[in-house]
Structure 1
Amino acid sequence: MPDRVVQDFPLFPLGLVALPHEYVPLHIFEERYRTMIGECLERGSEFGIVWARDPDDDDDEPRIGCAMEVARVLERMDDGRLNILSRGTRPFRIVEELHHLAYPAATVEFLEDVDEPADPDAGETAHEAYRSLVEQATDNEPDDADLDQMNAYAMAATVEFGLQAKQGLLDLRSENARLRLVTRLFRAATKRLEFIEKAQVRARSNGKVRFG
């Protein structure tokens, strides 16, 4: 079993929140991050994406990020820049930030969920809400077998939510709680799509629709 507490874990502070199972394309251009990704590629090791919040934010809560693996190097440029596709693997908590490496790093603790019985109702409700959203957004119906295998992270990783919502998912240590949260998020997104579709119909009929 991998160590739960790891020192000198590479960090990539960004204006985004990544989730386990989520694919995140990254353009690596700063020298320190080129060094970091180069070492991760050489060692086959992970790095962490953590939401770079406003420095004036007084939130004292532990910073929780998502470990990433380099799924694929998309492009190597002559000047050393890289385009990569990374994939979220597991959540972690920053224990202590470190400043002795060429790139940001920290001692981190990888997080585990609480031991609890699975809630079948929460799973079924989340899957149905996700199915409705996918059908509304794409006119395609998810495969039942594939959908049954998807947990809260896997479903949420395919939908673009706000940063606060994604961070809220990442912070939860209960799959049942995550399923209940994504259900609310999927239903809200579906209602938003329905509103947009109705607005488009009105716009076609009278030439104008106002938001806000």
Structure 2
Amino acid sequence: MVQTLSINFERPIPVFPLSSSVLLPHVALPLHIFEPRYLQMTKEALDSHGLIAMAVFEHTPSEQEYQHGRPPLKPHVCLGYIAQYNPLENGRYLLLLQGVCRAKLVDEIDHEPYRMAHLSPIDIEPADDEQLAEVRQQLEALVLTSDFDDVDGIDELRQILSQDTPTFAVIDLAAMTFCRADAERMYTVLADPDAASRGRWLIEQLEHDQDD
């Protein structure tokens, strides 16, 4: 779940932008790749480093803008690694993209048919568990309450909390469990480079959800 991967940030990396799906480090995101440009992106990534940066559109583009333009992107992305792939008979791919680290877009290069950019990592050295002890304690107390028994994936998250998974990873996994359907919330977690700050924000959101 928490992994070490050597990444050369000197070279440009493929960028896969979406409006409603946000990848976080330590989280695995299933993807169905079917557009020709992203099929080419997938094939070329598989033939090289296996890396794809998941980005988020600044606004939901029109169909014309999406197909023929370069809609603006929000600055924060999550660099992912193709952990599993399954080529389908119709030429499409099913991917499992494993989130590796947060990064920021530095500059896009002139590249077709898909987008590529230079990235700058922003959370290579996460906080250690001693610094996050209070956040973990509060988060665990919330996650274990019966208020969230019906949340999809809650049993897996509780199991993770019972193990020695580092707290900075637990925070991202908890955010995916509780916020996956809310792209705005997910992007808030992605864009915050400080694990303690992300944890406190998530705790506030869960406490608010409890009160509703």
TM-score range relative to shorter protein: 0.7 to 0.9
Does 1:154 find its partner at 2:180? no
Query: 1:38–1:113: structure 2 CA closer, same or farther, 3 Å change rule?
Result: closer
Structure showing greater Rg: 1
Which of 14, 17, 31 aligns to 1:10? It is 14
Contact 1:136/1:190, CA 8 A, preserved across alignment: no
Aligned twin of 2:109: 98
Which of 178, 185, 188 aligns to 1:168? It is 188
TM-score for both structures, normalised by structure 1: 0.75
Aligned twin of 2:162: 145
Q: How far is 1:155 from its partner?
A: 1.7
Query: 1:126–1:104: structure 2 CA closer, same or farther, 3 Å change rule?
Result: same
Aligned twin of 1:135: 149
TM-score for both structures, normalised by structure 2: 0.75
Aligned residues: 188
Q: How far is 1:53 from its partner?
A: 2.5
> Structure 2 matches for 1:187-202, cutoff 5 A?
187-192=207-212
Give the CA RMSD over aligned residues: 3.0
Distance 2:76 2:106 in 1: 10
The worse-fitting range, judged by mean Cα deviation, of 153-162 and 107-116 is 107-116
Which of 106, 112, 122 aligns to 1:111? It is 122
Q: How far is 1:45 from its partner?
A: 2.3
Does 1:31 find its partner at 2:51? no
Q: CA offsets, 1:62-115, max 9 Å, x none?
A: 6101111112124x2333211222221111100001222432110111112677
Distance 1:3 1:23 in 2: 18
Contact 2:139/2:203, CA 8 A, preserved across alignment: yes
Structure 1: where are the runs of 5+ without partners? 193-212
The worse-fitting range, judged by mean Cα deviation, of 8-17 and 132-141 is 132-141
Report SS of the residue matched to 1:154: helix
Q: How far is 1:190 from its partner?
A: 3.7
Report SS of the residue matched to 1:152: helix
Report SS of the residue matched to 1:106: strand
Contact 2:56/2:73, CA 8 A, preserved across alignment: no
Which of 80, 98, 110 aligns to 1:87? It is 98
Distance 1:113 1:131 in 2: 30
Q: How far is 1:36 from its partner?
A: 1.0
Distance 2:81 2:119 in 1: 16
Query: 1:113–1:85: structure 2 CA closer, same or farther, 3 Å change rule?
Result: closer
Aligned twin of 2:76: 64
Equivalent residue letter for 1:100: H
Q: How far is 1:187 from its partner?
A: 2.4
Aligned twin of 2:64: none
